[in-house]
Chain A
Amino acid sequence: MPLFRDEEYLRVDFEEEKEKDEALWVKCKSCEKLIFKKKLKENNHVCPNCGAYFFLTAKERIKNLVDEETFSDKTKRIESDDPLDFVDAQPYEERVEENQTETGMFDAIIVGTAEIEDNPLVLSVMDFRFIGGSMGSVVGEQIVSGIERSVDEELPFVLVSSSGGARMQEGILSLFQMVKTTSARDMLSEAGLPFISVMTYPTTAGVEASIASLGDVTIAERGALIGFAGRRVIEETIGEDLPQDFQSSEFALEHGIVDAVVERDSMRNELARILGFFN
């Protein structure tokens, strides 16, 4: 049974992602043990040995969260037009194209409608592989259009963040996506619709300092990185080393920044439970 109902907006097959990397084994960064890839996948991309979390792509995340056959992709068919003619080691336009080919996505986010244990919602999921999940004009527009869909269809809005922040290559336009998304977020409040923000690894800088921090309920996945400034920058500024758990999910919980820290395995149930209160 297909998990995804509507694929018309996606350029590559949603369901059967080809394994580009043919290696059967992968090394866990945390415990350095070799893990059988298939086993890792079956285990929700959590290391079966030490419990460390591996990245989830947006598609894997969606698969992980929603009821079968309920996800309908509503990602707008738009892509960056390189407004700054930005060139670093590689022209930005080329970088975007390369990322599109690699991920099969237009940009760093997928937006759609779905159900989680029969609770309908608009679900937006960011993908760190796409230029660090950074928020430029396209990501900002997708989030806003997702919020607008929530309002139109009277559905709760859930955003799963995985982003290093605003996208450098679009300069001030990226910076102002912080305002654009925050301004749109108000529409949910006006319509009496809940916004649930899920912070995963990483939720930092421009995304953390705007839309991701404005949830009615905000939960962090275990193993997330949550903060505004980068660890290295802070260490340089204050001239001391920061503790290991600085800006971790537990750190965020302890400092009153998030409502709960949730294991990947129970994220689906947790979201269903939260959504249930608003139904």
Chain B
Amino acid sequence: MSEEKTLKELEEQIERLKSLNAKNGLDLSQEIDTLAEKLSRRKQSKKEGLDDWDRVKLARHPDRPDSSDYIDFLVDDFYPLRGDRLFGDDSALKGGLARYEGETIILIAQSKGGDAEQSQETNFGMLRSEGYRKARRLMELGEKFGFPVLTLIDTPGAYPGKEAEERNIGGMIAQSISTMVSLEVPTVAVVIGEGGSGGAVAIGASDRILMLENSIYSVISPEGCAAILWNDRERADEAARALKLTAKHAKELGVVDEIIDEGNGAHEDFETVAVNLKASISAQLKELKGYDTQTLLEKRRSKYRSIGSYRKVVQKKKDK
């Protein structure tokens, strides 16, 4: 907190000098530069000082932009499509036709909702079976017309509900992965907040996986992990560190292709993040569109074929 205060004071000081500069015709530019540099250094070191649990908190920050903010920024003329054509529509998953830099794409996004009311409506980003069926439906639509598929991931996990189980949510996640991983069009997935286990990976089996700097991607929530390991959800911070769930770790482990710089964090600086993200998506799509379908699928298959880490067993003595 005190660091926040210092940063704020520095910012105010710079502003004061700037206004003095303008009013009195004094040349204070050198002082201003010195302070600005100091400010940026401190911000940088604050960023580097973030530990994995801080990232979890940032990924879940109440002011963190919702997928609808990114949709507004990234594409023109988003036309939402609704329903899974079987049971209902899942408002935790927005999706539809969109124009990205003049071209039609399929956009699929998990939404936690921007405020309390929206969050109720989107079930806090927890998809039900219908959401995953809808995702598949939209992916297949993209494939049919050769539209690339862009997904935005932000979910604490699939909804743990009675009806979800009755309607085979596990099977729906499996089928969504299956459809996506063999889709004959370029696919890019971006984790913008929380990549919560199977519920996230269901729309994440893409050619390229991008993560925002302060987003997380995990096999289990830190709270769930702490509950299993120590029977104590309060130790989520320890679990978060053990799980290596940050963007940086995911890249080091060979799962994620690119990390998007967030500047001062998406909760403070949406514009910077959105601009960086758009540049990366464009570059990735451009490269992917350069491949013929067969090459695209081969590259994708070999990407997933090689994910994992193990070693050869050295001959051990027989346990007798």
Looking at the complex, which one of B175, B225, B228, B312 makes contact with A78 (CB distance below 8 Å)? B312
Bound-state Cα–Cα, A269 to B162, Å: 34
Least CB separation from A204: chain B residue: B170
* Chain B interface residue number, banded: 35 or more
Residue contact A182 to B197, C-beta cutoff 8 Å: no
Given contacts A83-B309, A138-B308, A173-B307, list 12 more A-B pairs with CB under 8 A: A81-B310, A171-B244, A173-B253, A175-B198, A176-B304, A180-B304, A209-B158, A209-B198, A229-B169, A233-B224, A238-B162, A257-B171
CB within 8 Å of A: which residues of B?
158-162, 164-171, 173-175, 177-178, 181-182, 197-198, 201-202, 204-205, 217-220, 224-225, 228-230, 242-245, 249-250, 253, 255, 300-301, 304-305, 307-313, 316, 318-320
Show 27 residue pairs from A and B whose CB-CB distance is below 8 angstroms, ordered by the A residue.
A78-B310, A81-B310, A89-B229, A166-B198, A167-B219, A168-B219, A171-B219, A172-B219, A173-B307, A173-B308, A173-B309, A174-B219, A176-B201, A176-B304, A179-B205, A183-B301, A184-B304, A186-B301, A204-B170, A206-B198, A208-B170, A208-B171, A228-B160, A234-B162, A237-B161, A238-B161, A242-B162
A84 at the interface (CB under 8 A from B): yes
A175 touches B218 (CB 8 A): yes
In the complex the two chains form, is A186's CB within 8 Å of B166's CB? no
B220 contact set on A, CB distance < 8 A: 166, 168
Q: Is A144 an interface residue (CB 8 A)?
A: yes
When chains A and B are docked, how far (Å) is the Cα of A136 from the Cα of B178?
19
Q: Mark A245-278, 1 if CB is under 8 A from B, else 0.
A: 0110000000111000000000000000000000
Q: Does A200 contact B (CB under 8 A)?
A: no
Cβ contacts under 8 Å, A209 to chain B:
158, 169-171, 173-174, 198, 202
A77 an interface residue at 8 Å Cβ cutoff?
A: yes
Contact assessment for A233 and B160 in the assembled complex, using a CB-CB cutoff below 8 Å = yes
**Pick the contact of A175 from B169, B201, B249 — CB < 8 Å?**
B201
In the complex, are the beta carbons of A171 and B198 less than 8 A apart?
A: no
Contacts of B318 in A (CB 8 A): 11-13
The complex places the Cα of A185 from the Cα of B243 at a distance, in Å, of 28
Interface size on A, residues (CB 8 A): 67
Give the Cβ gap from A77 to chain B, nearest Cβ, in Å: 5
A227 to B204 Cα, complex, angstroms: 21
Q: CB within 8 A of B316: which of A11, A141, A255?
A: A11
- Confirm or deny: A114 has a beta carbon within 8 angstroms of a beta carbon on chain B: no
Most buried by B among A171, A185, A204, A233: A171
A237–B164 Cα distance when bound, in Å, is 12
Chain A residues within an 8 Å CB radius of B249 = 171-172
Among residues of B, the one whose C-beta sits closest to the C-beta of A256 is B168
What is the distance, in angstroms, from B211's C-beta to the closest C-beta of chain A?
Answer: 10
